[in-house]
Amino acid sequence: MASHRYPIAIMAFNRPDYLEAVLKSLVGQIDSELDRRPITLFQDGSVNRFSDQRRAREEDIIRCEQLFRDYLPFGVVHSSPDNLGIALNFERAEQYVFEELDAEAAIFLEDDLILSPHYINTLDHLIEVALHDERIGHVAVYGHHRARLSQQITCPDAYVLLEHNWAFGLTRRQWLRNKAYVDPYLEIVRNCDYQARDAKAIHKLYASWGMGCPGDSQDVTKTMACCLTRAVKLNTTACLGKYIGAKGIHMKQEWYDRLGYADTELYPRAVTTFKELSDDCYERIFKVQMRWATEKPCC
């Protein structure tokens, strides 16, 4: 049986309309025992102290915090007086769940992926798989958004590559392993406005690891850390989440429409058993993951 006590950390910034949709989906979870686990909002601030740029409206930040308290009155809000940026906001969330709470695994949600009623229950079960297999890093169950329901039904428990770190689970074991690579990245972005981070310095860091330059975000860095520790990132064939982030730092409405996220067909049931991660499956997915991380050379 899966534990239903993994902490849930919710990352929020300046999109209260998206956040409310996510919170509605979270409180509607089935067989997830939300009242038995810590649930915390990590709310980023509005003005960056390095660039002095306003990155969000105060009213949006206040609204995000109020929505969280309305939907999850037993939860805890961790506000930031300054704009940290997503990398440092994630850092404090990770330190909270893995150091202060001493959790063996945790769930991280952002404000742009709606959960099916079975998302958390299914993710709890996949986290159990990860805890017992050191080859596994990040896990999620939002599936591949282009897979039609008829395809999902044939093998809902089969693994695919986790491309984006959305609504994911992470073990403390993998978080600790990743730190050797993530910490040097955080030192680069720690004393600057994250939106104006030093891409050249980040690419130089990647090159020192023998990696390529598919980007310079904290998600990219964490995927590289998984590659360098030979941990595969796993997603499910079944789609138990729907991405709604048409407007944000890394997405535009035209891209969202072209990629077809709005047409995601959700799998209607929980998935509580998974196929064994065979050596062949591991190698096949890891090879794709590594190719993405290395194929674009650093300048």
Angle at 11 between CA 74 and CA 4, to 5 degrees: 50
What stretch of H or E contains 9?
A: strand 8-12
What stretch of H or E contains 4?
A: none
Q: Which residue, 219, 220, 228, 231, is CA-closest to 136?
A: 231
Amino acid at 136: I
HSE of 23 in the Cβ direction (CA atoms, 13 Å)? Answer: 24
Q: Which residue, 149, 104, 142, is CA-closest to 2?
A: 104
Sequential pLDDT tens for the chain (299 residues): 677 799 999 999 999 999 999 999 999 999 999 999 999 999 999 999 999 999 999 999 999 999 999 999 999 999 999 999 999 999 999 999 999 999 999 999 999 999 999 999 999 999 999 999 999 999 999 998 889 999 999 999 999 999 999 999 999 999 999 999 999 999 999 999 999 999 999 999 999 999 999 999 999 999 999 999 999 999 999 999 999 887 777 678 888 888 888 899 999 999 999 988 999 999 999 999 999 999 888 76
Amino acid at 220: V
CA separation for the pair 274, 28 (Å, rounded): 24
- Note the pLDDT of residue 61: 97
- Note the pLDDT of residue 299: 67
Strands ordered across the beta sheet of 8-12: 76-79, 39-43, 8-12, 105-109, 168-171, 136-140, 232-236, 159-161
Q: Which domains does the chain have, with CATH numbers?
A: 8-294 (3.90.550.10)
